[in-house]
Amino acid sequence: MSSRSKRESRGSARGKRESEARSSSGRSKREREREREPEAKNGRVDSEDRRSRHCPYLDTINRSVLDFDFEKLCSISLSHINAYACLVCGKYFQGRGLKSHAYIHSVQFSHHVFLNLHTLKFYCLPDNYEIIDSSLEDITYVLKPTFTKQQIANLDKQAKLSRAYDGTTYLPGIVGLNNIKANDYANAVLQALSNVPPLRNYFLEEDNYKNIKRPPGDIMFLLVQRFGELMRKLWNPRNFKAHVSPHEMLQAVVLCSRKTFQITKQGDGVDFLSWFLNALHSALGGTKKKKKTIVTDVFQGSMRIFTKKLPHPDLPAEEKEQLLHNDEYQETMVESTFMYLTLDLPTAPLYKDEKEQLIIPQVPLFNILAKFNGITEKEYKTYKENFLKRFQLTKLPPYLIFCIKRFTKNNFFVEKNPTIVNFPITNVDLREYLSEEVQAVHKNTTYDLIANIVHDGKPSEGSYRIHVLHHGTGKWYELQDLQVTDILPQMITLSEAYIQIWKRRDAGETNQQGA
């Protein structure tokens, strides 16, 4: 018999046996096995689901050690990729597969609950199953707080204290920032900007900027992302502690400013504010002239600058007179935008009074604002030439920043002017600094103070603190790094104010402050 005929006879015999089996039991063995398979699968799924929903290690989680403010990298490999937080000790490890740092840590120390810092999923190691439990939602919220439009709209209406996991109470938005080494200059500026409602509201909602197209490899957008994350943490009503570390935000600042601003070296608040606002504007896709962003919408005003070149002071009087008729010595005018106004202080006196005490001079705010009335002229010297300039405001922004020029640099050292500026907290009307045609267009010109940054001490080694108005309570608070205390409005005017943010009062709006 040929091999082919053998196979055929074997096949017919098998078919005969299968038909007999089917007739005896009604179903073939293969069909019965196929029916049993889903049962086994379902059993496996059910047991997996039961494990996921009833993890025995949830009570080992220690929320008091959890801190998501630091860079999300493995504490052993220093890699950002696939980082997990151990929810028992708070450390970060990479991976969860066999031989990964998180796996080894779970076996060595019997720490079993981990959170993927990117996907926000919880896992039990070394068993390697996902944990699904609604009681963990508070942890994911602290790692990544989110705000609805309704919540954002109500932020300035509520005066309710929040209770942190450690038992301390705090007002969302009035939260201390950690001073890592010498970053209080940046902390004060970030605190001030976080209390400017339209800017804050924009960054609380990630959808506003997550789809902005940037060129490949553009690191400046990191600044936008980190600032948004910091805003959400500062205003989080469900924090585990009543302070926030700006570590990731400051790392982005160091990287994007190419180490111009550092965590370990004291910087200048005005320099940082100027750089930060311009960097945010360009990272959001803004341009110098045409394309606007939330930054320019909130802070940008405009002015006319009148410039007149002066003859050299050593020239004879006749020659000076003659030069003044030349075209290059005629007054020119340019329109310019600004993000903040620099206010010059009068020179501090060097003499002592009869009690041999140095008098700390005082100057009213309106005296130093006179620089922008379109009449007051000020001489500016360059290496070769001298100019007379005067300024006139043509557009007032919704939020106006004043930078009071306290520091002067010469060839040898930086000098600080300690003059106290006397200013009212509310009702500063800037109408007189606008030209008549602009006054007709500008209906609202009254401003109220909302943030006041103070520099204390010597120029290079001083410290920064900030006074901010909480819109919900109408009360003022002083923040210096982690310290948060309430302060009477009249005490604010006694400080060496350096940077101020003023809010324009809209039509029909009354003063909300507890002044």
**pLDDT in the model for residue 180:** 86
pLDDT tens by residue, 144-184 = 999 999 999 999 988 889 999 888 999 999 999 999 888 99
Whole-model pTM? Answer: 0.85
Percent pLDDT > 70 in the chain is: 87
**pLDDT in the model for residue 44:** 52
pLDDT tens by residue, 51-83 = 788 899 999 999 999 989 888 999 999 999 999
| Whether the predicted pLDDT of 2 surpasses 70 | no
Amino acid at 372: F
Identify any residues that bridge with 392 across adjacent strands, giving them in sequence order.
304, 373
Query: Where residue 360 falls among pLDDT bands split at 50, 70, 90?
Result: confident
pLDDT tens by residue, 213-264 = 888 888 999 999 999 999 999 999 999 998 999 999 999 999 999 999 998 8
Of 93-107, 322-336, 360-374, least confident by mean pLDDT is 322-336
Mean pLDDT computed over every residue of the chain: 86
Helix (H) or strand (E) holding 387: strand 386-395
Query: Taking the chain, what is the end-to-end CA distance rounded to the nearest angstrom?
Result: 112
**Higher confidence at residue 236 or residue 380?**
236
Query: Where residue 405 falls among pLDDT bands split at 50, 70, 90?
Result: very high
- Residue 346 is classified by DSSP as P
Distance separating alpha carbons of residues 245 and 179, to the nearest angstrom: 8
pLDDT tens by residue, 119-144 = 999 999 999 999 999 999 999 999 99
Sign of CA dihedral 442, 444, 446, 452: negative
Q: Where do we find the tokens 């990544």?
A: 144
Amino acid at 316: P
> In degrees rounded to 5, what are phi and psi of residue 469?
-90, 125
Distances (CA, A) of 448 to 207, 410, 442: 31, 35, 17
**pLDDT in the model for residue 311:** 83
Structure tokens at 211: 């789809």
**Max avg pLDDT among 6-10, 28-32, 351-355, 497-501:** 497-501
**Higher confidence at residue 462 or residue 35?**
462
| Whether the predicted pLDDT of 40 surpasses 80 | no
CB atoms within 10 A of CB 448: 19
Query: Where residue 410 falls among pLDDT bands split at 50, 70, 90?
Result: confident
Residue 126: asked if its preceding bond is cis (omega within 30°), the reply is yes
Of 312, 306, 304, give the one whose Cα is nearest residue 381: 312
**pLDDT in the model for residue 386:** 86
Identify any residues that bridge with 453 across adjacent strands, giving them in sequence order.
466, 499
Q: Which residues contact 431 (CB under 8 A, 6 or more apart)?
A: 439, 442, 445
Q: How many alpha carbons lie under 13 Å from residue 511 in its C-beta half-sphere? A: 15
Query: Where residue 318 falls among pLDDT bands split at 50, 70, 90?
Result: confident
| Whether the predicted pLDDT of 348 surpasses 90 | no
| Whether the predicted pLDDT of 23 surpasses 80 | no
Instruction: Kindly state the average pLDDT of the residues 286-303.
Output: 92
Distance separating alpha carbons of residues 132 and 144, to the nearest angstrom: 18
| Whether the predicted pLDDT of 6 surpasses 80 | no
Instruction: Kindly state the average pLDDT of the residues 449-461.
Output: 91
Distance separating alpha carbons of residues 368 and 370, to the nearest angstrom: 5
| Whether the predicted pLDDT of 398 surpasses 60 | yes
Of 230, 82, 247, 246, give the one whose Cα is nearest residue 145: 230
**pLDDT in the model for residue 358:** 62
Domains in the chain, CATH or no CATH each: 58-141 (3.30.40.10), 144-295 (3.90.70.10), 296-349+357-504 (3.90.70.10)
Distances (CA, A) of 337 to 270, 288, 302, 436, 438: 17, 9, 4, 19, 15
**Higher confidence at residue 329 or residue 351?**
329
